[in-house]
């Protein structure tokens, strides 16, 4: 490999990108737009659940029960109703998610020591959100029931009731349980994969269509020099994008950063290089921009978004799909980003993921060079 020839290709590609405002704008603006849009719009937090209350009893005891829900940050009591008709109508229109019905004789059953029931109606069209809301409601009712039992024990002169087991809960790494703290790091990996693969494949595919690539291949340049030279400019853009995304995630979204900056840079270099080589390989196989876009989208966006553990837990996927995720590089980079941001882990803990990214980058680079050599031949 000749360094002078490599530098000439890299300089030519950098000038081409700088003089092409569309490619430059795509490379710099799209990652930030995706991060801002998804970071603000995409949330897995279930709180402020819109709730109606149907209190048939109307007693101090029933109102005390409702106050337990009102005092919780997970429920937003919007209206008191006097029949099921408004509940049915607004559930059908997706205006509310839950309704609480306190039946008649609720207070009498409590005061007489019998089991008192309440009814919780949930919109189950979104099963995941409904399950979480049901868990919150059960926790509120259980807390209120334990308080009633303790008060009854005190009135009977038996002292304050103590539970046999007292769970002391400590949440590590994400104590506020905010979904943005793990969505934003995963979103950085997905964004980098999409931009790197699509930008490289589309730009070089355009050169195939215009005929400038054939002129470049007719020069004494070797395939490895062409691949590395062309990737250098896009690699620089990718690093800038990554730094911008990290700054936005830490300072705008408030995501904690507890790990090593140098380890983050190392893994970012490996991931970016592999993703750019993947785009180069796509452009060598598909010499039209339309086909390159379709192949790049299918091979970068969908696996990175669906199979990386970014949103959907890999452990809950079918065994066959879990096996497929092992060949998705974004899976390992998402794990690294979450470890670096939230846990402060480094190479000792994430050595397997780092080695896979290195192996992936090396393998895709070799394949891209071979495909380019075939075009030269």
pLDDT range class, residue 154, cuts 50, 70, 90:
low
Stretch among 265-274, 277-286, 314-323 having the lowest mean pLDDT: 277-286
Report the alpha-carbon distance of residue 272 to residue 234 in Å, rounded: 9
Q: How many percent of the chain have pLDDT more than 90?
A: 11
Give this prediction's pTM.
0.78
pLDDT tens track for 185-209: 888 888 888 777 777 777 677 777 7
The tokens describing 231, both together, are: 């990737």
pLDDT tens track for 41-66: 777 677 788 999 998 888 888 888 88
Q: How many percent of the chain have pLDDT more than 70?
A: 90
HSE-CB of 266 using CA atoms within 13 angstroms? 15
Catalogue all structural domains in the chain, each as residue range(s) with its CATH number: 3-43+178-376 (no CATH), 49-155 (3.40.1710.10)
What is the chain's Cα-based Rg?
29
Report the alpha-carbon distance of residue 256 to residue 258 in Å, rounded: 6
Q: Nearest Cα to 353, choosing from 366, 372, 339?
A: 339
Instruction: Give the chain's mean pLDDT.
Output: 81
Residue with tokens 């700054």: 247
pLDDT tens track for 343-361: 888 888 899 999 999 999 9
Instruction: Decide if 346 contacts 260 (C-beta within 8 A).
Output: yes
HSE-CB of 137 using CA atoms within 13 angstroms? 23
Neighbours of 195 (CB within 10 A): 26
The tokens describing 253, both together, are: 């979204």
Instruction: Decide if 330 contacts 190 (C-beta within 8 A).
Output: yes
β-pairing, 98-102 vs 75-81, is unpaired
Per-residue model confidence (pLDDT) at position 353: 92
Buried/exposed code over 269-306 (b: 16+ C-beta within 10 A; e: otherwise): bbbbbbbbbbbbbbbbbbbebeebbebbeebbbebbbb
β-pairing, 98-102 vs 119-122, is antiparallel
């Amino acid at each position: 490999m000749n360094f002078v020839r490599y530098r000439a290709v890299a300089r030519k590609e950098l000038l081409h990108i700088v003089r092409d405002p569309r490619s430059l704008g795509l490379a710099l603006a799209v990652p930030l737009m995706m991060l801002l849009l998804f970071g603000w719009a995409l949330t897995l937090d279930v709180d402020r659940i819109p709730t109606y209350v149907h209190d048939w009893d109307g007693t101090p005891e029933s109102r005390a029960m409702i106050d337990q829900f009102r005092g919780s940050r997970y429920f937003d009591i919007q209206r008191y109703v006097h029949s099921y008709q408004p509940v049915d109508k607004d559930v059908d229109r997706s205006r509310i998610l839950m309704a609480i019905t306190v039946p008649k004789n609720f207070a009498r059953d409590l005061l007489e020591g019998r089991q008192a029931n309440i009814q919780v109606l949930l919109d189950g069209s979104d099963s995941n959100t409904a399950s979480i809301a049901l868990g919150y409601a059960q926790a509120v009712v259980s807390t209120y029931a334990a308080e009633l039992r303790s008060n009854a024990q005190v009135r009977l002169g038996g002292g304050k009731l103590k539970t046999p087991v007292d769970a002391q809960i400590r949440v590590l790494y994400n104590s506020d349980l905010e979904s943005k703290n793990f969505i934003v790091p995963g979103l950085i990996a997905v964004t980098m994969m999409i931009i790197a693969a699509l930008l490289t494949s589309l730009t070089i595919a355009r050169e195939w269509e215009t005929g400038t690539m054939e002129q470049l291949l007719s020069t004494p340049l070797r395939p490895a020099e062409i691949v590395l030279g062309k990737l250098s400019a896009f690699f620089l853009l990718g690093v800038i994008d990554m730094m911008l995304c990290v700054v936005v995630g830490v300072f705008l979204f408030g995501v904690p950063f507890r790990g090593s900056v140098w380890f983050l840079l190392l893994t970012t270099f490996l991931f970016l290089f592999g993703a750019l080589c993947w785009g180069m390989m796509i452009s060598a196989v598909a010499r039209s921009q339309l086909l390159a876009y379709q192949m790049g989208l299918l091979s970068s966006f969908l696996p990175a978004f669906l199979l990386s553990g970014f949103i959907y837990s890999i452990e809950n996927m079918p065994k066959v799909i879990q096996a497929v995720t092992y060949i998705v590089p974004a899976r390992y980079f998402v794990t690294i980003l979450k470890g670096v941001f939230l846990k402060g882990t480094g190479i000792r803990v994430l050595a397997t993921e780092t080695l896979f990214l290195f192996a992936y980058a090396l393998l895709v680079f070799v394949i891209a060079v071979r495909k380019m050599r075939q075009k030269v031949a």
